[in-house]
Structure 1
Amino acid sequence: MSQPTLQTSLAPQAVKAALHAIPLNATVGVGITDVGVGWATGECPDTPAFHNHLGTIHAGAQFLLAEAVSGAAFAGAFAAQLAGAVPLIERLDTQYVGRAQGSLSARAEARAADLPAALQAYGAEGKARLVIEVSVRDGENREGMQVVAHWYLRSRATIRGG
């Protein structure tokens, strides 16, 4: 079954461009490869400057990729609301499950059952939270990191209104 792509004024290219414009993402080479409604994929090249003392991909590079791809999935879920809102990461729960060798890839997904309630909460209160699950894999398709990202969206009107 195919997953829905963005059908709003915020195209996948806009999400990719916004995340690629973050200087740290650009420095490490983190890129978003695809974005849909509540999901995204990304990658990070194997760069020797970002290896650790074991010669594998540094945990910081994996973390950065996980945070970026979770943000892209969140943006995909709230694409229609982002122009008037501020998204913030509240927490990233990480578990390193293996050493990462080679270029990294990641996939982030919101739980499909959580999307309607989050959108309804934002419509009613101007605030919403959404959990995004991420898997980071290495060049041999072995999982190196599991992440649960907790994102928060607040309308600019509720910020001004205090």
Structure 2
Amino acid sequence: MTVDTSWVGAAMGQTVPWVKSVGITFGETTAERAVAHLPDAADLHNHVGGPHAAMIFGLGETASGAVGLAAFGTVMERATPLVVRSEIGYVRLAKGPLTAVAVLDRPAADVLAELDAGTRPEFTVTVTITDADDRETTRMTVVWTLRPNR
């Protein structure tokens, strides 16, 4: 059974105002993988003419949130997704528009089983960010939790 996740990009733009502010758009978004794009804009640049590190981090974190929303959107009434920690590595100077690909590192069903068992599960999303020439510029891991609502 395929779950419709076409709503995720619009939901991210509505619930996270920063996403619209910097112009992030979404490509493929599934419960396993999300693709997000950051346009090249001078007002987002750093001192070397590329996207500021804050923009790069934000793009990656946003892509990780999109895959999390796609995977766990059906349990939002009983759990809130929150970032626990993240790590970022800048591989090469980023220039121009960027694309982030976020991949859920384990099956959503396993995470939901932990939530159903009464624990506060954690899940990792791996993010790769590339430039317009498809060269890797950044690697990230974002660890999320599903905090049960009270």
TM-score, scaled to structure 2 = 0.90
The gaps in structure 2 that reach 5 residues or longer are none
Q: Which residue of 2 aligns with 1:100?
A: 94
Cα distance in 1 for residues equivalent to 2:131 and 2:13:
21
Shift of 1:65: 0.6
Q: Which residue of 1 aligns with 2:143?
A: 150
Contact 1:73/1:108 (<8 A) preserved? yes
TM-score, scaled to structure 1 = 0.84
Contact 1:132/1:150 (<8 A) preserved? yes
Q: Which residue of 1 aligns with 2:70?
A: 76
Q: Which residue of 2 aligns with 1:135?
A: 128
Cα RMSD (Å): 1.7
Query: 1:49-79 CA distances to partner (integer Å, 9 max, x unpaired)?
Result: 1111111121111111101000011122213
Query: 1:23-48 CA distances to partner (integer Å, 9 max, x unpaired)?
Result: 21111111222211121111010001
Task: Give the structure with the higher percent helix.
Answer: 1
Amino acid at match of 1:79: G
SS in 1 for 2:61: helix
Query: 1:91-150 CA distances to partner (integer Å, 9 max, x unpaired)?
Result: 1110011111111111000124x5343121011115221000000111111111100000
Amino acid at match of 2:47: H
The gaps in structure 1 that reach 5 residues or longer are none
Cα distance in 1 for residues equivalent to 2:144 and 2:36:
18
SS in 1 for 2:92: coil
